[in-house]
């Protein structure tokens, strides 16, 4: 019997970890079994998801088509922190969605959310730091054009 070929960039390309057709509930259940000392509540806390929401996903009483990409990534990070092998691709596919890259809009929204949480003095520091980074990047571009 042969296994399906994974994308070349994945770790362990000869071994599929998620059975084809596995939905998010089945994937989360399987992964939690691989972390026997962890519970749904632990996962919810670690991933920053409310326990009732996570429980609803696992009981299939709430859809998963609108789970934010950062939440799916946080679930992956939680399992990885517990030593459970999982890729973002598997998590996104189980939720029925393609794996997106971090979009410009998503990055901007995240940066703005972080900025707004900072005290005013730190906001000013962040702006100065960003301006310095831009100057450095511009200088690097000029130097590379000369070379």
Torsion-angle region of 21 (φ positive above 0: left; ψ -120 to 50: alpha; else: beta): left
Tell me how far apart the alpha carbons of residues 16 and 9 are, in angstroms, rounded to a whole number. Answer: 13
Q: How confident is the model at residue 146 (pLDDT cuts 50, 70, 90)?
A: low
Distance from C-alpha of 118 to C-alpha of 82, rounded to nearest angstrom:
30
pLDDT value at 16 more than 50: no
Say if residue 125's pLDDT is above 70: yes
3-state secondary structure of 1: coil
* pLDDT digits 0-9 by tens, 67-93: 888 899 999 999 999 999 999 889 999
Q: Look at 146 and 57; give whichever has higher pLDDT.
A: 57
Return the domain boundaries, the chain. 24-94, 104-146
pLDDT interval class at 108 (50, 70, 90)? confident
Give 118's DSSP letter. Answer: S
**CATH class of the 24-94 domain in this structure:** mainly alpha
CA 12, CA 17: separation in Å to the nearest integer? 9
* 21-51 residue pLDDT tens: 689 999 999 999 999 899 999 999 999 999 9
32 CB neighbour count, 10 Å cutoff: 18
Local confidence band at 14 (pLDDT 50, 70, 90 cut-offs): very low
Distances, alpha carbon 95 to alpha carbons 1, 25, 65, 79, in Å: 27, 9, 6, 16
Residue 6 pLDDT class (50, 70, 90 cuts) = very low
């Amino acid at each position: 019997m042969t296994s399906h070929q994974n994308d070349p960039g994945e770790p362990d390309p000869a071994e599929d970890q998620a059975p084809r057709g596995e939905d998010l509930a089945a994937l989360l259940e399987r992964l939690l079994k691989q972390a026997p000392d962890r519970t749904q509540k632990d996962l919810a806390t670690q991933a920053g998801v409310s326990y009732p929401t996570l429980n609803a996903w696992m009981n299939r009483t709430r859809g998963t088509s609108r789970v934010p990409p950062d939440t799916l990534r946080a679930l992956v990070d939680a399992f990885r922190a517990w030593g459970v092998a999982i890729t973002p691709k598997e998590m996104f596919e189980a939720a029925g969605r393609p794996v997106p890259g971090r979009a410009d809009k998503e990055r901007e929204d995240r940066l703005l959310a972080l900025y707004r949480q900072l005290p005013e003095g730190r906001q000013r520091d962040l702006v100065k730091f960003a301006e310095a980074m831009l100057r450095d990047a511009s200088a690097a571009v000029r130097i590379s054009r000369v070379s």
